[in-house]
């Protein structure tokens, strides 16, 4: 686990021996609790008084009665050790104690380290509602929170006033800024919640307001098996000022909702792993939260809720050449050690290694920050890197198949233990034997659970012997294949039951290892492109197959994983690339027309990691001189309440047979109505995927007849009809090319992918809003941008206005306007240049509106 030392004080502790004793406590408490009086039974609500402290030593157990709490008005230090934790628990597992409520204190800082909190309603409640502008800086580290009815930690800050009744009140903005690091939250409802609230004071002219601020550092924690959120940030009725929490290098596993934020939280969410979370990150309101350099894996159909469509859209590769979105978020298996059962450390093959924000502090091994709570120590790479893997196996239905288990040995392995899981509906266990490189080993299989699809294996050489370095066949498994299965393949996975995965040397020391599962391919799938009739084909590629693959390419239907996917994924030849696109449609047409000979089906049986990258060109022939091949949207003027046609035009080179793309638009301004082929594509087939039109995305796949190409020059290929909403208030709205639901792609007559430029447009409307009621500064669009962006703001009255750009050091970069302006909507354009006309570097910038007494600042990201 990463150790985050945010100005923490090192403490040395005594190892005290627990003596058989017990103590009952109630009312005011202070002093020192050690093992001589443990366990301490809290029989009534207790209070640590102001300016007093309670110190709890390692090994102490505190049993808190049902619905009781400890309130800390002074300060508490509960500091255990890794070998002697402090326990806070209920009398039994059927009841819950209330909480430990920690209030702001001038006397000292409350700290919890190596503590276990069990069976609480809310384990810790950190509250700053004092008459202060200072921050609570509590420390909660290396603790566990288990079986909490509501949540593990609540952080709360409430703005306050103080008055003597004779003069104007003094406003206070209390801060709650604890460090919450290296903890485990397990089987609670919510992990951590932040809550900010304001107060108001009525005076003769109206109201005065003040607000709280909750800005903790939450780092290196593990959140698992939560029915609620890992981090939830909410507000009361009166609050406007932003809080700035940091959520970094955490690992989430089986969590219903990862991070939820309401305005005004401006959170940094980076370097985290969201694995098996129903919702990744969700926000409500106008926020500028930074969500970058995270890993999202499995169940994440809602990785980003309330975010622009650029989040989650694979558009590039990171420095590790891993497909990612514009925020460097990746969407791959993090490759935890020991499968995904109990250990959240990273294997050496993890895509999360060196994938964190390069601006983050380096890992303890002095390499770039990894993602997740546990960094991978790269100083061990090359010292030992065993790999145990399942070899390839092929067979036909109703027969037997032999599956080898291989060890990539480093030359010091004496014994191995592991378990395998398989699908009993497809294969049944027959026998296990020693491999050719383990003839003198002792083999002890555990076959007690084979009827449930689990087999344990223990293999050991004689004492003092090791496997020679290299690839060694250590075990051979034999399975019987079911006669009536429709499966094309079946997976065999390494697991830890009934025998835990482990590799040991001659001294019984455990060696780090990577465990790679494998597949049994059950039969040949036929020929490439033969997908009809469904789930089998007929051995011949026809025009019907061409039509069906076109439907797959448009996302209007999904091929079944297995043979159907393998045969539809026929480009690039001979074995596809793990995704279905326009090139597969064209290649199927070549097979159907007899222009390419029939090819035995091969390649992936389901979408692969390569499919995540829409920019992959490895193994695909790219036509030279394509720099002037352009797809553009002709820019119209939109009128509210009217229908408008948008033309998609191809500047062709003369070899283009088909193209696919998606359009992204703002559904609150325009509505997609229909589309048709353009005048220069009259004999083409057009497939339209409008399943996501309500979210502002429509995909188009268009192909000419096989072996035909567009003539050189400008070609009108598709005409799209939009209706503009009558109540539209925007002065402009972009329509852009994106890759969802159909990837941007142009293909020639031989199914080669061609390079092209894709030029979006901005549609202009003529109607503005009525005079605004309040001042307002909108989020720039697009954001992130390169290198130009638009800034909108509103004035309810004529004002002296300044709009300026600053860097994060507070240095003025550019003044966009400094003049008196009339009430209404205003629009500014920034070209990414400073006052001297020079381009500024990529990074985060601030833009500020000052209009009279009104001041508002927002963030924007320039990404070149």
The pLDDT, as a whole number, for residue 388 is 87
Look at the pTM and tell me if it is higher than 0.75: no
Phi and psi at 378, nearest 5°, equal -80, -5
Residue 211: CB atoms within 10 Å: 25
Q: What is the mean pLDDT of each run of 10 residues along the chain (864 residues)?
A: 35 35 91 95 96 96 96 96 95 94 92 96 93 89 95 92 74 89 93 87 71 90 94 78 86 92 85 92 77 86 85 91 93 74 75 94 91 87 68 58 87 93 91 93 95 95 91 90 71 90 90 83 78 82 90 88 84 83 92 86 65 36 54 77 86 93 88 93 92 92 92 93 74 81 90 88 57 88 83 91 91 91 84 88 92 92 83
Q: What's the maximum distance between 2 C-alpha atoms anywhere in the chain? A: 96
CA distance to 154, 636, 726, per residue, from 768 (Å): 44, 17, 12
The closest of 471, 394, 385, 489 to 435, measured between CA atoms, is 471
392-421 burial, b at 16+ Cβ within 10 Å, e below that, comes to ebebeeeeebebbbbbbbbebbbbbbbbbb
Length of the chain: 864
The closest of 316, 323, 315, 263 to 295, measured between CA atoms, is 323
SS3 279: strand
The closest of 557, 553, 602, 604 to 582, measured between CA atoms, is 553
The pLDDT, as a whole number, for residue 625 is 40
Give CA–CA dist 588/547, Å, rounded: 9
Strands 713-724 vs 643-652: parallel, antiparallel or unpaired: antiparallel
Q: What is the CA radius of gyration of the chain?
A: 32
Token pair for 462: 């004689």
518: which residues sit within 8 A by CB, 6+ positions away? 389, 390, 391, 392, 393, 403, 491, 492
User: Rounded to the nearest 5 degrees, what angle is found at the Cα of 356, between the Cα atoms of 354 and 358?
Assistant: 90
Give CA–CA dist 584/659, Å, rounded: 12
Strands 273-275 vs 290-292: parallel, antiparallel or unpaired: unpaired
Cβ(324)–Cβ(317) under 8 Å? yes
CA distance to 34, 89, 252, 765, per residue, from 38 (Å): 7, 13, 34, 74
Cβ(459)–Cβ(473) under 8 Å? no
The pLDDT, as a whole number, for residue 59 is 96
**Count of alpha carbons within 13 Å of 821, Cβ hemisphere only?**
22
Strands 251-262 vs 139-141: parallel, antiparallel or unpaired: unpaired
The pLDDT, as a whole number, for residue 670 is 86
The pLDDT, as a whole number, for residue 8 is 31
The pLDDT, as a whole number, for residue 612 is 37
Token pair for 253: 């596993």
Distance in Å from the first CA to the final CA of the chain = 34
Q: Which residue has the tokens 């596993």?
A: 253
Give CA–CA dist 462/551, Å, rounded: 60
Kindly write down the DSSP assignment for every residue of 640-681, as one continuous string: TT-EEEEEEEEEE-S-EEEEEEEEE--TTTEEEEEEEE-TT-
The pLDDT, as a whole number, for residue 610 is 39
- Please give the distance of CA 500 from its chain centroid, rounded to a whole number: 30
SS3 335: coil
264: which residues sit within 8 A by CB, 6+ positions away? 196, 235, 239, 240, 241, 242, 243, 285, 287
Query: Which residues on neighbouring strands pair with residue 118, listed in sequence order?
Result: 146
- Please give the distance of CA 428 from its chain centroid, rounded to a whole number: 37
The pLDDT, as a whole number, for residue 414 is 95
The pLDDT, as a whole number, for residue 139 is 95
The closest of 311, 276, 266, 314 to 292, measured between CA atoms, is 311
Give CA–CA dist 86/89, Å, rounded: 10
257: which residues sit within 8 A by CB, 6+ positions away? 228, 229, 230, 232, 277, 278, 279, 282
Give CA–CA dist 40/19, Å, rounded: 12
The closest of 347, 348, 501, 322 to 415, measured between CA atoms, is 501
Sign for the pseudo-dihedral over CA of 617, 621, 622, 624: positive
Cβ(631)–Cβ(759) under 8 Å? yes
Q: Which domains, and CATH codes, for the chain?
A: 121-304 (no CATH), 386-521 (2.60.40.680), 543-611 (no CATH), 630-765 (2.60.40.680), 776-862 (2.60.40.4070)
Q: Which residue has the tokens 């300016």?
A: 51
Kindly report whether the peptide bond that precedes residue 533 is cis, defined as omega within 30 degrees of 0. Answer: yes
The closest of 181, 176, 171 to 104, measured between CA atoms, is 176
The pLDDT, as a whole number, for residue 238 is 65
The closest of 400, 394, 458 to 431, measured between CA atoms, is 400
Reported for 9-17, long-range contacts at CB under 8 A and 24+ positions apart, including other chains, are 11/79, 13/57, 13/58, 13/79, 13/80, 13/81, 14/57, 14/58, 15/58, 15/81, 15/83, 15/84, 16/57, 16/58, 16/59, 16/84
Q: What is the DSSP letter of 594?
A: T
308: which residues sit within 8 A by CB, 6+ positions away? 782, 783
Give CA–CA dist 697/498, Å, rounded: 48
SS3 609: helix
The pLDDT, as a whole number, for residue 611 is 41
The closest of 579, 559, 487, 575 to 545, measured between CA atoms, is 559
Give CA–CA dist 444/432, Å, rounded: 10
188: which residues sit within 8 A by CB, 6+ positions away? 145, 146, 147, 148, 149, 150, 151, 152, 226, 228
Sign for the pseudo-dihedral over CA of 821, 822, 826, 829: negative
């Amino acid at each position: 686990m990463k150790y985050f030392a945010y100005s923490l004080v090192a403490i040395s502790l005594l190892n005290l021996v627990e003596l058989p004793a017990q103590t009952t406590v109630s009312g005011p408490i202070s002093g020192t609790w050690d093992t001589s009086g443990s366990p301490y039974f809290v029989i009534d609500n207790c209070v640590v008084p102001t300016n007093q402290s309670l110190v709890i030593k390692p090994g102490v157990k505190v049993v808190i009665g049902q619905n009781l709490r400890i309130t800390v008005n002074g300060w508490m230090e509960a500091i255990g050790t890794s070998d002697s934790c402090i326990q806070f628990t209920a009398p039994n597992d059927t009841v819950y104690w209330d909480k430990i409520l920690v209030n702001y204190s001038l006397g000292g800082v409350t700290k919890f380290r190596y503590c276990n909190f069990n069976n609480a309603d809310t384990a810790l409640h950190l509250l700053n509602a004092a008459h202060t502008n200072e921050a609570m800086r509590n420390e909660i580290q290396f603790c566990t929170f288990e079986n909490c009815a509501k949540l593990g930690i609540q952080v709360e800050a409430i703005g306050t006033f103080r008055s003597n009744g004779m003069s104007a009140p003094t406003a206070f903005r209390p801060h709650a800024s604890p460090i919450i690091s290296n903890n485990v939250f397990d089987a609670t409802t919510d992990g951590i919640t932040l809550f900010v609230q304001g107060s108001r004071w009525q005076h003769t002219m109206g109201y005065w307001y003040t607000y709280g601020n909750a800005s903790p550092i939450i780092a290196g924690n593990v959140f698992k098996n939560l029915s609620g959120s890992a981090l939830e940030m909410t507000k009361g009725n009166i609050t406007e000022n932003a809080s700035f929490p940091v959520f970094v290098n955490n690992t989430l596993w089986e969590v219903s909702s990862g991070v939820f934020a309401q305005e005004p939280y401006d959170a940094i969410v980076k370097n985290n792993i969201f694995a098996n979370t129903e919702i990744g990150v969700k926000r409500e309101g106008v926020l500028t939260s930074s969500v970058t350099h995270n890993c999202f894996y499995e169940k994440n159909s809602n990785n980003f809720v309330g975010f622009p469509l650029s989040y989650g859209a694979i558009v590039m590769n990171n420095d590790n050449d891993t497909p990612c979105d514009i925020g460097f978020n990746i969407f791959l298996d993090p490759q935890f050690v020991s499968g995904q059962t109990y250990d959240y450390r990273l294997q050496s093959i993890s895509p999360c290694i060196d994938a964190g924000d390069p601006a983050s502090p380096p890992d303890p091994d002095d390499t770039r920050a990894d993602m997740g709570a546990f960094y991978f120590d790269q100083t061990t790479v090359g010292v030992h890197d065993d790999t145990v893997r399942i070899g390839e196996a092929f067979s036909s239905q109703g027969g037997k198949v032999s599956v080898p288990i291989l060890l990539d040995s480093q030359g010091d392995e004496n014994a191995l233990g592991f378990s395998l899981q398989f699908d009993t509906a497809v294969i049944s266990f027959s026998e296990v034997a020693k491999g050719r490189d383990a003839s003198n080993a002792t083999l002890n299989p555990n076959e007690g659970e084979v009827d449930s699809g689990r087999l344990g294996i223990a293999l050991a050489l004689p004492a003092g012997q090791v496997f020679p370095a290299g690839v060694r066949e250590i075990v051979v498994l034999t399975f019987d294949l079911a006669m009536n299965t429709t499966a094309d393949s079946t997976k065999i996975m390494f697991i830890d039951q009934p025998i835990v995965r482990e590799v040991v040397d001659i001294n019984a020391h455990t060696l780090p290892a990577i465990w790679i599962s494998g597949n049994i391919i059950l039969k040949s799938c036929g020929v490439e492109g033969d997908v009809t009739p469904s789930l089998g084909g007929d051995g011949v590629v026809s025009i019907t197959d061409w039509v069906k693959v076109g439907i797959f390419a448009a996302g209007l239907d999904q091929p079944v994983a297995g043979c159907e996917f393998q045969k539809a994924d026929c480009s690039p030849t001979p074995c596809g690339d793990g995704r279905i696109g326009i090139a597969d449609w064209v290649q199927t047409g070549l097979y159907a027309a007899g222009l390419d000979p029939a090819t035995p089906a091969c390649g992936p049986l389901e979408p692969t990691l390569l499919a995540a990258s829409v920019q992959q060109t490895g193994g695909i022939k790219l036509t030279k001189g394509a720099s002037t091949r352009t797809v553009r949207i002709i820019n119209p003027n939109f009128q509210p309440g009217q229908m408008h046609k948008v033309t998609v035009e191809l500047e062709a080179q003369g070899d283009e047979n088909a193209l696919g793309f998606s359009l992204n638009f703002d559904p609150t301004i325009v509505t997609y109505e229909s589309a048709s082929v353009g005048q220069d594509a009259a004999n083409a087939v057009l497939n339209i995927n409008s399943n996501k039109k309500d979210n502002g995305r429509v995909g188009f796949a268009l192909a000419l007849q096989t072996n035909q190409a567009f003539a050189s020059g400008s070609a009108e290929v598709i005409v799209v009809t939009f209706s503009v909403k009558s109540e539209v208030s925007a002065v402009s709205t972009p329509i852009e090319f994106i890759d969802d639901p159909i990837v941007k792609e142009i293909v020639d007559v031989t199914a080669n992918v061609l390079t092209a430029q894709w030029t979006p447009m901005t549609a202009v409307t003529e109607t503005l809003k009525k005079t605004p009621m309040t001042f307002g500064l909108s989020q720039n669009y697009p954001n992130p941008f390169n290198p130009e962006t638009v800034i909108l703001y509103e004035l309810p009255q004529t004002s002296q206005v300044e709009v300026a750009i600053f860097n994060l050091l507070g240095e003025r970069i550019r003044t966009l306007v400094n003049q008196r302006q009339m009430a209404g909507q205003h629009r500014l354009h920034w070209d990414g240049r400073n006052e001297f006309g020079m381009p500024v570097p990529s990074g985060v910038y601030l833009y500020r509106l000052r209009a009279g007494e009104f001041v508002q600042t927002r963030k924007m990201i320039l990404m070149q």
